[in-house]
Structure formats: structure tokens, C-alpha cells
A and B are shown apart, each in its own frame.
Chain A
Amino acid sequence: MSFRSIGVVYRKELTEALRDRRTLISTIVVPLLLFPVMSVGFASVASMLVGKVKEETPKVMVIGGADSPAVLASLRKTEKADDKLDLVPAADNWKAQIIDKDVRAVVELPQGFEADLAQQKDETVKIYIYGGELKSGIAANKVEKHLDEYRDTVIKDRLAAKNLPASVLKPFEVKQQNVAPAEKVGAAAIGGLIGYMVILLCMTGAMYPAMDLTAGEKERGTMETILSSPISRTDLVLGKFSLVLSASLATAALSVTSMGISFWVADHFHAFDLGKASEDTLHLQIGFGAALSVFLMALPIAVLFSAALFTIALFAKTYKEAQSYLTPMTFLIIIPAVAAMLPGVDLTPKLALIPILNVSLLCKELIASTYHWNYIAIIFASTCVYAAAALFIAIKMFQRESVLFRS
């Protein structure tokens, strides 16, 4: 093995890669833009849209209620601006109006509702909605809130009539209190997503150079040219592989940096404050240590992806053929990466040996600044073994005439 030869090949491949628009887009532009767009952009837009919907006064139709003026008054009562309901008169086509989104919800009050309540009879108020429709759901929630308040008033009156205190029905309060630091709360919410994004971007960063340096070289007719030079095939593979790895790592580094900056910006401008009380607001700051650990864990996975994609693309005769081989690979990688985001999926000794899933799960913990050193060691070592095996196969495949000159 000659480091000089590997360096010569690497320098040449780097020069070509920096002149290739596709490689530049997948390596630099995508990671730099994806995280800011996802975090600041998406969260701001989502926050804005949800806030807007909440501020809207929904049209609610009331069926019945002519004999229940107190309930209607309760529905009309407005304590806060976003509690307001726009009550519309009953119509026979109320179902069609819900489906056509002319009204967001319909409340059906039983006949003689207030009289029945006075006699302490059981009654049910129905709220008809457009299932799965956000605005309809929000309208129904607002209606329920008004009815809950009215129910509380009825209960209070009944207890007062029997000279009982209100605490009879609520002997104690239950309150949830968060004790986890802000960054851990944020990490629990989005840690899995970050691992997933880093893994996916490591792969997309390696994908285009891997195809260009193998199938692309065959397609352009330069494979025979380079094979006629005195460089050994192992050195040639290592030079090319180093470039693919660099692209993958550059993508990972840029994505980790970009996500750190964009979450800081998002946090700074309260992009994740979805109208909650300030103590419940997600604080999505990622520390330098967490970002560095995610990047370090991305190292062996980048080697694994680079070698695996390089080997697979080597079988293809053309760039197009390589794309058709590598596109299904994206799904193979997405599945374990997404599995890490599922609720309740946490690191276990067995899961720590499953490639991709293990790193994705670990990233979730690293973002929360939780360091299980035994898992880190197992995952780093196992991923290194997989990566070394993939690189070994890549070198072996490059020696095979049936792969290089497949016809």
C-alpha cells in the first residue's frame, strides 16, 4: 500500500468532485439547508398555523336549546378572545354543512335539557364534528370547554343545595411536574429525529460520489484508462473510498453544525413555543459536547455507508443502473433509523448490535447528554467491524474482472 498513490487518487477525485454539481448539492447544499428549513422554518410555520387556527372564531350550530337559555348563555359567554364561538341557527342540512366546512361543529342539546338537569336526570349532549379535521377538532374542544364550565356550575349548585363543600368531588389535585433539564426534554422530543437525519444525510452524502467514482467511471470509459496505470487496485480503491468517505463526513459535519445553529436560532426566537405556558416550552438547544459525540458516532457509520454504497455501485455499468441499485438502499436505511424514533424503543444489549438502529438510538441519548459508556463502546466497536467488513468486500470486488468488466 502506497500512501502517496492513495493521496494522488484522492486529490484528483476531490478536484473532480468539487467540479460536479450533483456531488456539491448532495454534500453541501442539502445538509446546510435541510436542518434550518426543518427546524426554524417548519416549526415557525407550524406554530403560526396552529396559533392562527386557535385564534379563529369557529362557527358552531346549536340544535335544540330553546328551552335551555342558561346553556346557550354559557356557550355565548366569552372570557378569553380565543374562547369565542360564533353560534349559528339550526338547519336541517347540518351534516352537509359540517362536511362542506360551513360550520365546524354542531351541538345537539336534548329537549328539556335544563329541566332534566334540575330533576337530576342523566342527559347527554352530543357534539358532531368532521373527524380528523383540525379546525373542527379545535371547535369541538372549545364547545366542550364551555359545557364543562356549565357542568361545574351545575355541580357547585347541587353541592351547595346539600350544604357540601366543592372538595367532596375533588378530594385531591393531581399535577405533573417536569424535573428533567430543558435540553433533555428537548432531546426526548427530537433526539430520535436528529439521529435519523444525521444517518440519512451520511448516506446521501456518500451516494453520489460512490456512483460517480464507480459506475460513472465505467460509463465514461475511464475505468480502463486508470486500470492501465501502475497504481495497485487496492490503492486505487482506498483513494476513491477516501473521497466517498470525505463527502459522507462533510455532509454529517455540516448537518450537525447546521442543526446545532438552527436549533439555537429556533430556541432563541421561541419557534417551538406552540402557545404553551412558558415553563412547558421546548428548549431545543444542543450542546457542543452532544454535537461532537453525534459526529463521532457518525464516523464509523459513514465508513460503513461509503464502503457499502461503493461496492454496490461498482456492480453497475452505468450511473442510471447504480441509481436503481442504491435507491432501495435508502429504504433499508430509513427503516431502522425510523424505528429508533418509535416511542418505547430504547437501547438494549441486543439492539446495540443492529447496525444503523443502534447509532440512531444512541444519538437520541447523546443529544440528551446521556452517556452510557458500555453501549457507546459496543455500538462504536460493532459499527467499526461492519465498516471494516464492508471496506474489505469493496477492495475484493475491485479485484474481480467480472465486476469491473461486467457485460
Chain B
Amino acid sequence: MIEARDLCKSFQDKKRGTICAVDHVSFTCRPGQIYGLLGANGAGKTTTLRMLATILEPTDGTATLCGYDVIEAPEKVRANVGFLSTATALYPRLTAQEMVEYFGRLNGLDESTLKNRVNEICSRLDMDSFRDRRCDKLSTGMKQKTSIARTLVHDPPIMIFDEPTLGLDIMTARTITAFIRECRDAGKTVIFSTHIMSEVEKLCDTIGIIQSGKLLTEGTLAELRAKHGEHDLEEIFVKVVAPHYVSEGTN
């Protein structure tokens, strides 16, 4: 379970002064469901998810994941979270297996549990043919599988995906979306951010639309259609975001 309460994050910029990247965002994600955070570039999606993963600290408000507060117990939060984004790269000089083992050890797994877990994940993700290959020699698809294995090694109850399919070819993107579904089916709490409407329509149980750091609306796809009088998600998105939209270059 993820509960975000009035999450705020502001940054100081020498030229622009204080920038409010996330402004009092509150939402709840439940186990066995996928929460989609939909927003344009610079809307505040990544900052929100980074706060949930405790990579960034909120300037105001807080969130609890599995009952642990992101400010008071960040290490316990991270132990219950698998975080995957296109910015979470692999160590090039480690092999795929070493990469997964490293994160298993950081998550406190003992050696025998780790060995079984790595074997199980490698076999499940069809990684056996390249598990001994260095990460800098892997194809994009192999790297994605290794990243997935890295997030799954400690079997976290919460999965956070920040634009996980950004820049990937269709086949690799499908591997990721299939994996997100598997996580939901396994009863995990899943939150993921994207600006691709089709992904949200296919995957999400609840959708939140974010712009200029504010969560403007949220609900199931059916609820959003009813609320905004549009069938197409893209039309709903434009209708919600347009009054608040400031293009990236304007700032």
C-alpha cells in the first residue's frame, strides 16, 4: 500500500529562484492494483516517484509505503520497494548475475537464499544464456531483463516504475508491460508514470493526471470518462491539463 499525503518538493535555482516541482500531491495505491501517473514532460511525475522511492526527500508532506514513512524510515521503505526507470542503469563492469546478486546482498539476503533466488529469477526471465556476460556487452532487451531481475531479487511488495518504456523498441517495451502486469497479478502494489496514453489504458486500474506538480484529477478510466465527458483518454488528458499547461521552454 502507498499513501501519499500532501507531498511537496521544491528546488532552488540560481536564475529562476524557488521551483515547485510537486505541489501537495495526495493519492493512495492499493495492493493488486496498478496506479498510473500520467503527465507531460516536466509535470512532476519523476520527482513524485523519486520521493516515494526515498531518493529525494519531500520538502513538505509525506508518504507511507507498507506502513513505513519515507522521511522517518527511508531504508525500510527502500527494502520494500523495487524501483525501475530508464535512469536506473546497470554497472557495466559487472556481469548480469553479479548485478542481481549485489542488490540481493544490499537487501540483506543471505547467500543460500540469494543463490536460490537468483537461479529462480534468471530462469523465469530467461536470462541463463547471458547471466555470466558483462552488462556493457548486453543488448537493450537483456539489460532490461537484468534491471527487472535487480528490482525483483528481494521480492518487494511495492513496485515503482518511472517511464520504464521510454526510448525502448516495441518488443522490449512489451517485456516491461508484461512484467508490470505480472507484478499486479502477484498482488504487488504498482505505481508507474508515463506520458503514453495507450500504456495507461491497457494497464492501469487507477489513473492520476499530474501537471505543474499538481494532481489535477484521478479515478478509474470509467470514472474519468464520466467526470470529463470524453471517451478518449487523450481528449480527457488535454481537457484536464490544457488550463495548467506551461511548455517546458517557457520556464
Hey, which bits of chain A sit against chain B, CB under 8 A? 5, 8-9, 12, 15-16, 19-20, 220-222, 224-225, 227-232, 401-402, 405
User: SS class of chain A's interface: helix, strand, loop or mixed?
Assistant: helix
Hey, which bits of chain B sit against chain A, CB under 8 A? 12, 50, 53, 55-57, 75-76, 78-79, 81, 83, 85, 87-94, 98, 102-103, 105-108, 150
* Residues of B with C-beta under 8 A to A225: 88-91, 150
* Residues of B with C-beta under 8 A to A20: 93
- Can you pick out 27 interface pairs between chain A and chain B where the beta carbons lie within 8 Å of each other? A5-B106, A12-B94, A12-B98, A12-B102, A15-B93, A15-B94, A16-B91, A16-B93, A220-B89, A221-B87, A221-B88, A222-B90, A224-B55, A224-B85, A225-B88, A225-B91, A225-B150, A227-B55, A228-B53, A228-B55, A229-B106, A229-B107, A230-B75, A230-B76, A230-B79, A231-B75, A231-B106
Do residues B81 and A228 form an inter-chain contact, with CB atoms below 8 A? Answer: yes
Out of B57, B89, B106, which one reaches A230, CB within 8 Å?
B106
* Residues of B with C-beta under 8 A to A8: 102, 105-106
* Residues of A with C-beta under 8 A to B87: 221, 224
Do residues B93 and A19 form an inter-chain contact, with CB atoms below 8 A? Answer: yes
Do residues A15 and B98 form an inter-chain contact, with CB atoms below 8 A? Answer: yes
Task: Give complex CA distance A9, B107 in Å.
Answer: 12
Task: Give complex CA distance A230, B83 in Å.
Answer: 11
Number of A-B contacts defined by CB within 8 Å: 63
Shortest CB-to-CB span from B79 to chain A, Å, is 4
Shortest CB-to-CB span from A15 to chain B, Å, is 7
Task: Give complex CA distance A232, B106 in Å.
Answer: 10
Shortest CB-to-CB span from A319 to chain B, Å, is 13
* Residues of A with C-beta under 8 A to B50: 224
* Residues of B with C-beta under 8 A to A227: 55
Do residues A228 and B92 form an inter-chain contact, with CB atoms below 8 A? Answer: no
* Residues of B with C-beta under 8 A to A401: 56-57
* Residues of A with C-beta under 8 A to B55: 224, 227-228
Shortest CB-to-CB span from A395 to chain B, Å, is 16
The residue in chain B whose Cβ has the minimal distance to the Cβ of A20 is B93
* Residues of A with C-beta under 8 A to B102: 8, 12
Task: Give complex CA distance A15, B75 in Å.
Answer: 25
The residue in chain B whose Cβ has the minimal distance to the Cβ of A221 is B89
* Residues of A with C-beta under 8 A to B90: 222, 225
3 nearest A-B pairs in the assembled complex, by CB-CB distance = A221-B89, A228-B83, A230-B79
* Residues of B with C-beta under 8 A to A12: 91, 94, 98, 102
In the complex, besides A220-B89, A221-B87, A402-B12, 19 extra interface pairs with C-beta distance below 8 angstroms are A5-B106, A12-B91, A12-B94, A12-B98, A16-B94, A19-B93, A220-B92, A221-B88, A221-B89, A225-B89, A227-B55, A228-B81, A228-B83, A228-B88, A229-B103, A229-B106, A230-B79, A231-B106, A401-B56
Task: Give complex CA distance A19, B98 in Å.
Answer: 13
